[in-house]
Amino acid sequence: MKVKSVYLVVFAAFVAGAALASLALQPAEVLKTVSVTVTETNTQFSRITVTEYTGITKTLTSLSYTTVTEKVTTTRTVTRLVTITEEAGEGVEVLDICFSPDGDCLEVLLSFIQNARESVYVMIYVFTLDDVADALIDAAARGVDVKVLIEADSAFIRGSEYSRLAENGVEVRLDRNRYLMHNKVAVIDGRIVITGSMNWSFRGAFRNNENIIVLEDPNIAAEFIDEFNKLWRLAG
């Protein structure tokens, strides 16, 4: 459960009027500036100075003001738990772990995509790697069900693969849900999940310290596919 507290402080509107009324200015006197200094630890203005065009300066001290404080609390609760169990010797298998820029993370991506037989479902924030786009295009050409969901904010940056994928037989959509789609995920053949921090970009693969982990488990894959299908429908 996450709790977020927001404090709204409303200053009473009558303060400015009270300050002017206390000065008892004559009709001929013209107000030029009002400067206010407030101490955060006190409940009073420490000093208010009013300067008129006539050059006369009047000072008020200890002018009280009223504050209204409201505490707003929002609560988020856990609505679903996913249990991953191991039965009959079967469980989650870690197929690969890669760290960029020193590891061969690009080769890891290419290897699993090139060996896909049934489906490749992708949710990606930034996608500018030509080799990975080529692998997805080739997979679609050999009959693999390839779907790619790209964050709309990054789909048209320099080097984006969005247009090339769409023009070469890959089903591709722009994510349009109200949140930033920051996933870096590929689900392959309904059982392999590739995820981690690395965007599919030159910077992600060769310049940043990033990571990729490859897991094999149909239950975990099903969770990611459910999320993919939800965002895919919203993007349609």
Distance CA 190, CA 208 (A): 29
Burial of residue 166 (CB within 10 Å: 0-12, 13-18, 19+) is: middle
Would residue 130 show up in a list of annotated catalytic residues for this protein? no
Q: SS3 sequence, 115-173?
A: CCCCEEEEEECCECCHHHHHHHHHHHHCCCEEEEEEEHHHCCCCCCCHHHHHCCCCEEE
Q: SS3 sequence, 10-42?
A: EECCHHHHHHHHHHCCCCCCCEEEEEEEECCCC
Active site residue: 96, 147, 175, 189, which one? 189
CB 5 within 8 A of CB 80: no
Q: Token pair for residue 180?
A: 């930033």
Pairing label, strands 119-124, 145-151:
parallel
Active site residue: 58, 131, 134, 182, which one? 182
Active site residue: 96, 147, 184, 217, which one? 184
Q: Virtual CA dihedral for 84, 85, 90, 91, nearest 10 degrees?
A: 30
Which residues face 70 on adjacent strands? 8
Would residue 182 show up in a list of annotated catalytic residues for this protein? yes
Would residue 134 show up in a list of annotated catalytic residues for this protein? no
| Catalytic positions | 182, 184, 189
